[in-house]
Amino acid sequence: MKNSKAIIFDLGAVILNINYQNTIDAFIKLEVKNASTFYSKKVQTDLFNQIETGKITAEKFLTELQRETKNATIKQVTDAWNAMLLDLPEDRLELIKALKKEYRIYLLSNTNEIHIDAIKEQLGDKKWNGFSNLFDKMYLSHEVGMRKPNTEVFEHILVEQKLKAEEVFFIDDSPQHIEGAKKLGIKTHHLLDNKDITSLFPDIIL
């Protein structure tokens, strides 16, 4: 963190609790073939890359996903896709609020409009606005048309925010995303499954 001016947070499994297995299990129930290889934290088909970079609409994505099931409804497919989304722990939000006093704070997430709409609905307008305002800017892959681990999305943030790579600290739970940031000289921390971001800043009193 020495000489850092900005912190970039991932969303899922870093701030928002998620469980990829919930969606895989839901796909299995809908009789998606080879569900665990069709979609996982590390591996996914191009369909998911397309929705996460805004190349296809939510409607097109859900229709294509529906075709992989055995007679599932669009509602069932949507619920299965959103099954991975869990809670947003308050102590993590308080941590980010405290860090804002010393650092510029950004969010960089490989996500999609279906998940964002589900999170907004879960939180409600007031809490969602409060969450959004924690960040100097949110970079959502489906809005910017780029996704991690491609270096172009990190370069985009550096240029737009007038930051040098060595001034940025990036936290993510996926090793491939960490490697993408490292290629540019960004300081990184790979958050392991059993760790919480609150433990990374022991000097911050919540």
Q: What is the pLDDT of residue 203?
A: 82
d(CA 98, CA 94): 6
Q: Report domain extents, the chain.
A: 6-17+87-200, 20-82
Does the pLDDT at position 8 exceed 70?
yes
d(CA 79, CA 30): 11
Q: Side by side, which strands form the sheet with 168-172? A: 137-140, 104-109, 6-9, 168-172, 187-190
Does the pLDDT at position 40 exceed 80?
no
Please give the model's pTM, rounded to 2 decimal places: 0.95
d(CA 139, CA 9): 10
Q: What is the pLDDT of residue 204?
A: 77
d(CA 65, CA 53): 16
Which phi and psi (to 5°) does residue 56 adopt? Answer: -130, 155
Q: What is the pLDDT of residue 205?
A: 58
Q: What is the pLDDT of residue 69?
A: 96
CATH superfamily for domain 20-82:
Putative phosphatase; domain 2 (1.10.150.240)
CATH number for the domain whose boundaries are 6-17+87-200: 3.40.50.1000
Q: Which residues contact 193 (CB under 8 A, 6 or more apart)?
A: 13, 173
